[in-house]
Structure 1
Amino acid sequence: MGVCVTVAGGVVAGVGAGSVARWLLGRMARGTRVRIPVCEVLVALPWAGIAGGWAAGVLPGRWVPVLLGLAWFAAAAGPVDARHRRLPDALTLPAVPAALVLVAPLGAGALGRAGLGVLLAAGVHAAVHLAAPGALGAGDVKLAASLGAPLAVVSWPALVVAAVGASLLTALLALVTGAGRRGRGPAVPHGPSMLVATAVVVVAAAGAGGPW
């Protein structure tokens, strides 16, 4: 009964948080208008799962804040990148300090690793962007900075696993949709794949009880 109530609370809170995300996107200079209930569903479903996992003892409480934040961020940034092939600075830049705050419950050591993860992820993605601007946008570099924080807390190899996973997912989507071929429209945006890959790695680590 307790788990069901907690899941229901996660759904209600997720709908509210999703509404906030949709409202913000509609008012950003480089945001987008998202119809109801896209953002609400995108936040409510993972928040319900996170709440249920915590109530059932599967997810440690110290991991809950970063998981909730990651789910909200994905629901806000994903639709913009998917529709317009861009990631607004109004989302990606504040996400960096927000990520550091959200990993703080994991301990001082985790916070230090997160800070280094921000620099490492941003640096590597920036190098790729400079070498191949068409393959990786500047928005992806800024996105990588915030995602590097929780990934570094998981482990240093987690940064590589998430990057490779995101690349494979983007390549798969491009293959399935035919995007990027001559005459077939623009390439698949990489941001959603980065968000999904990071979420998978972080959830797996949290479910395992901590860093790898």
Structure 2
Amino acid sequence: MDSQEYGRLRAVGETVVVVTAVVGAMTGVGVRSLAGRLAGRRPPPVSCEAACLIVAVLAQVAPTATGVFATTVFGWWCVCLSAVDLLVRRLPNVLTVGGAGSILATAAVTGHGREAMVGAVLLAAPLCVTHLALPRSLGAGDVKLAVGLGAVAGIAGPAALLVSALLPSVLTAGAATFTRVARARRRSENCGVVLLPHGPSMCLATGVALITAG
């Protein structure tokens, strides 16, 4: 490859990144508006735009154009879910059930229905048992979310499914500990147990699982 061809490829790559970032940021405006309507109050300015931009850029690591599109849409769905959960600690059925149904239907049409269904069951079943035994520790919305996330992780493979199952608890516990320490330092006292929504950790863990699964 000569220097001119390398320069052209580099210019094309930089253009793709810029266009992708712009599209991601513009989509974030819509995501923030939707999350605001579902939650009853808007997320902080630029929050969803930045998150959707990052998702769009990271999704470019997918090996095919179809994979890039699917990963991007999945990531934007996760951003909207996480924004609502962080605002009101609630995961709307229109997002969890609607998203899970869309993912399972798409998987069936594309020939991945079995893997998606197995992943959905394996990820959601333990959370369902936990919710029934200790409903205050885990909401029904998290169980419904696990169906869609498990379907995606199941398609990506056993390693992705394992990360999606184990990492969320670590992320939530870590965030709760950090929040507790930060509050204690500001108030110079022990703030006790800090309860945080679990949905964002579930979404982030599945995103990490997809990236590491390649």
TM-score range, shorter chain: 0.7 to 0.9
Residue 57 (structure 2) aligned to one of 25, 30, 48: 48
CA distance in 1, matches of 2:104, 2:19: 26
1:16 paired to 2:20: no
Instruction: Kindly state the Cα deviation for residue 103 of structure 1 after the two structures are TM-superposed.
Output: 4.6
CA offsets, 1:91-137, max 9 Å, x none?
111111222355568x41x2321123223322221111112222211
The alignment yields a C-alpha RMSD, in angstroms, of 2.4
Residue 61 (structure 1) aligned to one of 39, 42, 65: 65
The code of the aligned residue for 2:25 comes to V
Instruction: Kindly state the Cα deviation for residue 64 of structure 1 after the two structures are TM-superposed.
Output: 1.6
CA offsets, 1:46-68, max 9 Å, x none?
202323x35xxxx3334223311
The code of the aligned residue for 2:12 comes to G
Aligned residue pair count: 197
Distance 1:18 1:101, change over 3 A: farther
Structure 2 equivalent of residue 25 of structure 1: 35
Structure 1 equivalent of residue 4 of structure 2: none
Q: What does 1:1-150 correspond to in 2, within 5 Å?
A: 1-28=11-38, 30-51=39-60, 53=61, 59-100=63-104, 103=107, 107-108=110-111, 110-150=112-152
Instruction: Kindly state the Cα deviation for residue 7 of structure 1 after the two structures are TM-superposed.
Output: 1.0
The code of the aligned residue for 2:113 comes to L
Unpaired segments of 5 or more residues in structure 2?
1-10, 185-189
TM-score by length of 2: 0.81
Distance 1:173 1:153, change over 3 A: same
Instruction: Kindly state the Cα deviation for residue 172 of structure 1 after the two structures are TM-superposed.
Output: 1.2
Q: Which has the larger radius of gyration?
A: 2
Identity of aligned residues (%): 33
CA distance in 1, matches of 2:93, 2:175: 25
Q: What does 1:178-193 correspond to in 2, within 5 Å?
A: 178=180, 184=192, 186-193=194-201
TM-score by length of 1: 0.82
Unpaired segments of 5 or more residues in structure 1?
208-212
CA distance in 1, matches of 2:69, 2:137: 32
CA distance in 2, matches of 1:31, 1:2: 42
CA distance in 1, matches of 2:146, 2:40: 19
Residue 209 (structure 2) aligned to one of 176, 201, 205: 201
